[in-house]
Structure 1
Amino acid sequence: MKKTVTTLADGRELIYYDSRDDAVRDAVDPRPLTPVVSRSEIRHDELTGDPVAIASHRQARTYQPPADACPLCPGRDGHESEIPAAEYEVVVFENRFPSLSGGLGRCEVVCFTDDHTASFADLTEEQARLVLDAWTDRTAELSALPDIEQVYCFENRGQEIGVTLPHSHGQIYAFPYVTPRTARMRGRLDEHRAATGRNLFDDVVARELADGERIVLETEHWIAFVPYAAHWPYEVHLYPRRRVPDLLALDEAARTEFAQVYLELLRRFDRLFGPDEPPTPYIAAWHQAPFTDARREDFGLHLELFTVRRASGKLKFLAGTESGMGAFMNDVRPEDAARRIREVAST
């Protein structure tokens, strides 16, 4: 992998990741941009203690532009873009409308391909591996910044999820705090250790392997299953068989096999509801150990992939119980979801 670091016209960092060592990235951003002025504020919910980022400048962010005005397409033929190169493989750049800014964390955009119409599932295994390498590199770089506690790599796919740019991309958030969901996992991990003397993540994976009914995919280095108490109609958790705390700790064998496994899962998601259904909206979320955690080696790196579509033409909305009380109600039995995900496996 070759990494080329440059800057955009307003001073934001842009990084090219190339599979070729001879790739030359010398395009200059021609736009007359002024430096971005944005400052987030982090407040805490007095009743729960949860942090909330206030980022009012994001109201002006680009929303569903036409294809010929896409800011993530290459900057060719006079097209003004966030990416000045005429073509690219994988690109990461600082978000122009960040949720976390002003010294309170950092937000980056990850472009998986320069093809405006392609999705992650359309990538080759080599392209998907390059994305994994980019995620890993950014995790290393961002975790070294002052006051960063957690690095979160994720993809939102589909307008139903709330995506504002249709071009295939993800994001990386470097949080100056441990996110509430991770903090709850951390607490459960400690409780389980105190009660049993064992690791919670290890026990979850062992139980799924022993039960077998919710397993959807197994390889030498990865295991994917629908969780026992899935929140979402179709939800898959992907774990490396060897527990590691973060992307940096994955060995080469697991990294090599990841692309095949992940692409298969994404392609199955697109076949869940039949050939006439539009592409399945989903969120794919990497859970990594906080870098400030003294016991971070106990944490189990995993990816959670889920969709808000519960049936053909029907979405799972977060209604009163979920949005108001955080009490999830799932319309699809996890064992039935797992069976369906196995049914649509590639042949």
Structure 2
Amino acid sequence: MKKTSGRLADGREIVYYDLSDDTVRTAADRRPMPGMEAHSEIRHDPLLDEWVGVTAHRNARTYHPPADECPLCPSREGRMSEIPEADYDVAVFENRFPSFRGAPGKEENEDAAGLFRHAPGAGRCEVVSFTSDHHASFADLDEEQARLVLDVWADRTAELSRTPGVEQVYCFENRGEEIGVTLSHPHGQIYGYPFTTPRTARMLRSLAEHGAQTGGNLFDDLVAAERAAGERVVIEGEHWTAFVPYAAHWPYEVHLYPRSRVPDLLGLGEEARAEFPGIYLELLRRFDRIFGEQEARAPYIAAWHQAPFGDCDGDGRGPHLAPREEFALHLELFTIRRAPGKLKFLAGSESGMNVFINDVPPEAAARRLREVAS
């Protein structure tokens, strides 16, 4: 993998990752663009003990551009995009409309009681374009290309973990207009959050409580229990296990764990990295097949869960309740489609009370995902 860093016209960084070590990247961004301005803020919700990002500048972000104006396609004569080169393998660049950006600043209160706390929305947000082919999807990549993306995720995790103000690194892909995707070119994103996310904080609490009660590791025990039960296992590899969780929130939801627990993508060994592309591509292709040919390319979210990097004890932004080495890296893949032509909406119970109601029994979902194997 060859890595080449450059700058876009407004000062944002762009990084090319190429399969060939002989690739040379010299194209310049010739667009007349002013310097980037993005003002992010985080505000604390005292009832839920959660941080919320406030980002007015994102209201102007690109929305469903025509294919010939896609900002993620390679540049060509007469039309410059976000990616100056005429072709590329994988390109990563700072988001033009980031949710979090910049260096950390002092947390402040707006009231004497300390209920209205806010701070700069420090951190970094990146776009990862998986391929120069506008009409492809991740599932269309070959194993060599998918392995390159995995190595990119790991490299960007390392880079963002060293960025001032970044507490947690989140690599993810949203696919499909039903999910809310505004660019159809195959791509994902990486967020460097300035706090430990609420979902991860809950996992850390559960992990600490389980350890105190049983002396075991909750992630290890959960994966072992799913493997022993067997009926929800979708793919069993030598180094990875994919299963529909016992209490799945979504109609079709798969969790993918490496056999050897590691806290983040950086901890994956070569054998696990080598096996990942085949298993992940097979999962994505099964998601595209479960609803039949007329429902091809199911909308989905693919989310890497990694341990936070910083020590946030005492700063009020999500204390670590278990050592980070006890956290288990895993990927959660789910679709909001529950049946052909039907979507699972987050309605009153889910959105109002965070209580999910799943119309597809996890055992049935796992059985269906096994039936559509290649």
Q: Does 1:307 align with 2:356?
A: no
Corresponding residue to 1:122 among 140, 145, 148: 140
Equivalences for residues 191-202 of structure 1 within 5 A: 191-202=209-220
- Range with greater deviation from structure 2 (16-25 or 272-281): 272-281
| Backbone CA RMSD of aligned residues | 0.8
Q: TM-score, normalised by structure 1?
A: 0.99
Post-superposition shift, 1:39? 1.0
Give runs of aligned pairs for residues 104-123 of structure 1, distance below 5 A: 104-123=122-141
Give identity over the alignment, percent: 71
Secondary structure of the structure 2 residue equivalent to 1:321: helix
1:255 alignment partner, one of 267, 273, 284: 273
- 5+ residue gaps in structure 1? none
> How far did residue 233 of structure 1 move?
0.2
Residue 159 of structure 1 aligns to a residue whose secondary structure is coil
Aligned to 2:154: 136
* Structure 1 residue 77: Cα displacement: 2.7
Distance 1:18 1:131 in 2: 10
- Give the deviation of 1:196 after TM superposition: 0.2
Equivalents in 2 of 1:117, 1:78: separation in Å?
21
The 3-state SS of whatever aligns with 2:21 is coil
Please say if 1:323 is aligned against 2:351: yes
Counterpart of 2:326 in structure 1 is 298
Aligned-partner SS, 1:160: coil
Secondary structure of 1:291's aligned partner = coil
Greater alpha carbon shift after TM alignment, 203-212 vs 270-279: 270-279
Query: 1:88: which partner in 2?
Result: 88
For residues 59 and 176 of structure 1, the distance between their equivalents in structure 2, rounded to whole angstroms, comes to: 21
Q: Deviations over 1:121-154 (max 9, x none)?
A: 0001000000001100000010011121100000
* Aligned residue type for 1:276: Q
> Does the residue aligned with 2:178 lie in a helix, a strand or coil?
helix
Query: Which deviations, in whole Å up to 9, do the C-alpha atoms of 1:237-287 show, x marking residues without a partner?
Result: 000000000000000000011000100000000001001114100000000
Structure 1 residue ranges (4+ consecutive) displaced by more than 6 angstroms after TM superposition: none
2-structure distance, mates of 1:241, 1:311: 32
State the secondary structure of the residue aligned to 1:339.
helix
Q: Residue 119 of structure 2 aligns with which residue?
A: none
Q: Following TM superposition, by how much is the alpha carbon of 1:78 offset from its aligned partner in structure 2, in angstroms?
A: 2.1
Q: What number of residue pairs does the alignment pair up?
A: 346
Determine the C-alpha separation between the residues in 2 that align with 1:197 and 1:76. 59
> 1:48-59, aligned counterparts within 5 Å?
48-59=48-59
* Correspondence for 1:275: 293
Determine the C-alpha separation between the residues in 2 that align with 1:323 and 1:171: 24
Query: For 1:183, which of 201, 205, 215 is the aligned residue?
Result: 201
Which whole-Å CA distance do the structure 1 matches of 2:36 and 2:53 have between them? 18
SS in 1 for 2:150: helix
SS at match of 2:128: strand
Q: Do the aligned partners of 2:289 and 2:296 also contact (CA within 8 Å) in 1? A: no
TM normalised by structure 2 equals 0.92
- TM-superposed CA distance for 1:80, in Å, is 1.7
1: CA distance between counterparts of 2:310 and 2:61?
32
